[in-house]
Structure 1
């Protein structure tokens, strides 16, 4: 019985921490995220009322600069999931905020990505933060 009580206390603390984390981290906001959009670069841009300025138009990637009411961002679509993941992994070394859907990504500042997520759905990924490295002269 003594073994059970400490185990229950640990389990109870973990459940309480998880519940508080969900409340404090915008659990309600996550519930308001729509299903992740799919489609061509043009159809995704139309969803957020942006006329895409195409920068790259290749078989494996299409990339455009967009400006919408949310702000300025880069929108890219990919021919394969693997190509998308490789692109994101390399791009994240430069920092920034990434809204990721199936074979597409939108890149912008935090506010833009958050606003786009309200329309396009998707998952937010954050690039490497290099602020800790500035000014260091090793």
Structure 2
């Protein structure tokens, strides 16, 4: 009985102590200056909508509950935002590829994405959650500069 408890504790330990799964190629390629040290973010992996919502000061209303993702809506006086979590990085990458059609800024972490109506709020959330702010281009011609 004790042995099962010890084995179970050891299985959970990496989840409690790791900020990211060392095999995330995107994280390895990310510019270190874009990654903040957010101690609270360590409890997010594996990503859960409810945990991320709590860290940002909200109680999320779950909108989508699917095998590939979970999505919660947060509504505050300052901003409305969506928290989307994924069971595997491949689902997050597919979601970002689809979202690229629309363009916009997103706060992206390991197996989660946060999108806000007010993109300037993403930096504030980044200090609490970690991750990187990514600009997705969208479809159509790039805006020209005079």
Same fold judged by TM-score > 0.5? yes
| Greater helix fraction, Structure 1 or Structure 2 | 1
Structure 2 spans left out of the alignment, 5+ residues = 1-32
Alignment check: 8 A CA contact 2:35 2:130 kept: no
Query: Alignment RMSD, CA only?
Result: 2.5
Mapped to 2, the partners of 1:123 and 1:115 lie a distance apart of 12
TM-score (norm 1): 0.66
Q: Normalising by the residue count of structure 2, what TM-score does the alignment of the two structures yield?
A: 0.62
When Rg is computed on C-alpha atoms for both structures, the one with the higher figure is 1
Number of residue pairs the alignment of both structures matches: 106
Aligned mate of 2:38, from 34, 49, 53: 34
Secondary structure (helix, strand or coil) at the match of 1:60 reads: coil
Partner of 1:99: 107
* One of 111, 115, 127 as aligned partner of 2:136: 127
Tell me, in whole angstroms, the C-alpha distance in 2 between the residues paired with 1:31 and 1:62: 24
In structure 2, the CA distance between the partners of 1:122 and 1:133, relative to structure 1 (3 Å rule), is: closer
Q: Structure 1: where are the runs of 5+ without partners?
A: 1-26
